[in-house]
Amino acid sequence: MKLKANQYYKLAMPSGWDFYSGRTINYRDSIGKTVKVSDGSGEPALCTATVLHASKNPNDCFIGAKIPCSAYIVEGKPVVHDKTKAGFKELRVVREIKDLGVLFKWRYSEAINPVHPFKIAPPKKITDEHVRLLREWASVRDSVEASVVASVWDSVEASVMASVGASVWA
């Protein structure tokens, strides 16, 4: 999915309501409209209520969001950003993305409907197919873990560096 230069991904709860408060903005009801940060006072800063957050990479949206979720393409001009996310005073909600498995490039439908391994009857015999599925599961787990760790580390590193840099210069 190719975004335009001023477009970003935004995640919300399955109902369309924002993750921040659960009652501030309903992105699904705002398709085609512009939404604004509820408390625009103060210097815009990421990870605060002074901006609305969105990312160029949909998997970077999970800082502050979780599954299950709904996803949207939004447009806006960032007032602050780091390597993984941007902050906006307002966003125009373009459309909802329905196929989250395609968007995230991992099996979203399986992630929100996990199978309890102890509720599965053990097979009478382990086959090559069982081994293949186990290897696939391990590679997905490792990939998701690496992606999340890298994303969180980049965000923490940027926040700490900005804070320390401001303190040193002051």
Structure-token pair, residue 9: 């991904």
- pTM reported for the whole predicted model: 0.70
Are 120 and 59 a contacting pair, CB within 8 Å? no
pLDDT tens sequence across 29-46: 999 999 999 876 788 888
From residue 76, give the alpha-carbon distance in Å to each of 26, 55, 56, 61, 90. Answer: 17, 11, 12, 16, 7
Show me where the domains of the chain are located. 7-169
pLDDT tens sequence across 109-136: 988 888 887 788 888 899 998 888 888 8
